[in-house]
């Protein structure tokens, strides 16, 4: 059988990048092919009820209960799409017994993951690391989660003497573009509680996420020859600068942390006559989140009032909400995970997610779904890496959660 690292590398080599501009589910055919492959593998490994849902892109499967009494059904969830970074020709590298020094990812391109820029590397001295070759992301977000869930389930398949309740697993698409869980079938999943394996460093246990919204700002100007433009031209690039300057300039990702929310101008494109800006809006606090959205509306109105015509059209939509609203009503999954980590000598690192997971939406579908660590870091870029040793601890946490649930 493959080792977990071999499985991770094989999965990471497959380009499953999602596409925000696509209208299909999943958003890319590569994800469909990955899901088909995964379903075949789960069947071969001994999982039950393996199902590849074409309507939502998810692959689900079951490890049936081997107990006489009934206990809560647990679920474990991970996503197989990767983020908007180069995902072609991914060539993972394995570093045995990492020495704590700078890692040359690509000598010919002089791509170095330095300890100065990434002091977190010092936490992995002596570990086996899986890195990129300096030209792509790795895809451990979230294929590390998939590999860990499969590894944990294989433990129960291969050790029928270990008592456990029913376990459900789900692997899905398009998490990175914020819509993967939109069509998740929570009723069919049957789990009372679930966990996403989509975190990072050892011990992470997250049950608070941002409230999130997307905002598209459309700008409309007037194009006139620059030689005769006085009092006539309205340049949408200037409108874009004006609109952004009306937002709090220190409330951006690069200047915030912890529970602090932000506005992010994700991308923009302008000509003189027409422009478009895409923002994401984030805050853990629901009231502050609503105030952030109101500020966007107020700013659009202020510019339109100033010019006396509609120069700004704002289109906002909510993406997901803080899953703490649900999980704090039934804290059992958090308590199980915390106890499991403590039993294994792992210090739980309970903190808010500065983002969201599929669990943000699935929790509001009726399944409280906190997030667990995977042992991977530096997501969404060429400095992404994963630790074999921390991945193994993630597997052990899954196993311990299931054992605790069975008692």
Express each pLDDT in 221-238 by its tens digit. 999 999 999 999 999 999
Q: Stretch 310-319: mean pLDDT, rounded?
A: 96
Give the span between the Cα atoms of 331 and 406, in whole angstroms: 17
DSSP state of 82: B
Question: Cα angle vertex 136, ends 131, 139, to 5°?
Answer: 65
Q: Stretch 100-118: mean pLDDT, rounded?
A: 98
Q: Of the residues 19, 81, 166, 174, which is catalytic?
A: 81
Q: Which of 187, 211, 148 is nearest to 386 (CA)?
A: 148
In sequence order, the β-bridge partners of residue 168 are 62, 75
Mind listing the pLDDT tens digit for each residue in 187-201?
A: 999 999 999 999 999
End-to-end CA distance of the chain: give it in Å, rounded. 30
Residue 113's SS3 state is: strand
- Phi/psi-derived region of residue 83, left when phi > 0, alpha when psi is between -120 and 50, beta in every other case: beta
Give the span between the Cα atoms of 26 and 174, in whole angstroms: 6
Residue 28's SS3 state is: coil
pLDDT at 405 > cutoff 70 = yes
Lookup result for tokens 């597997």: 395
pLDDT at residue 70, rounded to an integer = 96
- Spell out the CATH class of 4-209+322-406: alpha beta
Q: Of the residues 151, 175, 206, 208, which is catalytic?
A: 175
pLDDT at 122 > cutoff 80 = yes
Q: What percent of the chain has pLDDT over 90?
A: 98
Kindly report the CATH number that applies to the domain delimited by 212-320.
3.30.70.360
pLDDT at 184 > cutoff 70 = yes
Within the chain, which residue ranges are assigned CATH 3.40.630.10? 4-209+322-406
Q: Which of 182, 246, 187 is nearest to 27 (CA)?
A: 182
Within the chain, which residue ranges are assigned CATH 3.30.70.360? 212-320
Does residue 175 carry a catalytic annotation? yes
pTM metric for this prediction = 0.92
Phi, psi of 120 (to 5 degrees): -60, -20
pLDDT at residue 168, rounded to an integer = 98
pLDDT at residue 297, rounded to an integer = 98
Does residue 2 carry a catalytic annotation? no
Residues 49, 42: contact at Cβ < 8 Å? no
Element of type H or E holding 320: strand 312-320
Give the span between the Cα atoms of 50 and 47, in whole angstroms: 7
């Amino acid at each position: 059988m493959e080792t977990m690292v071999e499985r991770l590398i094989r999965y990471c080599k497959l380009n499953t990048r999602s596409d925000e501009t696509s209208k299909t589910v999943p958003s890319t055919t590569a994800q469909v092919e990955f899901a088909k492959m995964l379903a075949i593998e789960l069947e071969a490994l001994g999982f039950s009820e393996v199902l590849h849902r074409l309507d939502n892109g998810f692959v689900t499967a079951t490890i049936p209960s081997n107990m006489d009494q009934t206990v809560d059904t647990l679920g474990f969830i991970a996503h197989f799409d990767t983020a908007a970074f180069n995902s072609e020709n991914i060539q993972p590298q394995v570093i045995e017994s990492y020495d704590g020094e700078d890692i040359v990812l690509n000598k010919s391109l002089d791509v170095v993951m330095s300890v100065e820029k990434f002091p977190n590397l010092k936490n992995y001295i002596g570990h086996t690391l899986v890195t990129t070759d300096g030209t792509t992301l790795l895809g451990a977000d979230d294929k590390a989660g998939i590999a860990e869930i499969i590894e944990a389930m294989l433990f129960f398949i291969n050790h029928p003497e270990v008592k456990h309740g029913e376990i459900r697993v789900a692997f899905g698409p398009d998490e990175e573009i914020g819509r993967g869980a939109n069509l998740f079938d929570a009723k069919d999943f049957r789990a009372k509680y679930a966990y996403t394996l989509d975190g990072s460093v050892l011990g992470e246990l997250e049950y608070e996420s941002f409230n999130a919204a997307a905002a598209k700002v459309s700008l409309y100007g007037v194009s006139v020859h620059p030689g005769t433009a006085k009092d006539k031209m309205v340049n949408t690039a200037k409108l874009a600068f004006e609109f952004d300057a009306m937002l709090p300039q220190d409330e951006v990702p690069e200047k915030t942390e912890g529970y602090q929310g932000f506005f992010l101008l994700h991308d923009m494109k302008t000509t003189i006559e027409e422009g478009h800006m895409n923002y994401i809006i984030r805050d853990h606090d629901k009231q502050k989140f609503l105030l952030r959205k109101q500020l966007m509306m107020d700013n659009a109105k202020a510019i339109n009032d100033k010019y006396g015509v509609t120069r700004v059209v704002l289109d906002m939509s909510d993406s997901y909400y803080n899953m703490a609203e649900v999980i704090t009503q039934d804290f059992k999954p958090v308590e199980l995970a915390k106890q499991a980590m403590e039993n294994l000598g792992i210090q739980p690192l309970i903190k808010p997610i500065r983002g969201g997971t599929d669990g943000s939406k699935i929790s509001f579908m009726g399944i409280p779904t906190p997030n667990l660590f995977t042992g991977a870091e530096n997501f969404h870029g060429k400095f992404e890496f994963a630790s074999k040793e921390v991945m193994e601890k993630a597997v052990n946490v899954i196993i311990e959660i299931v054992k605790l649930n069975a008692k």
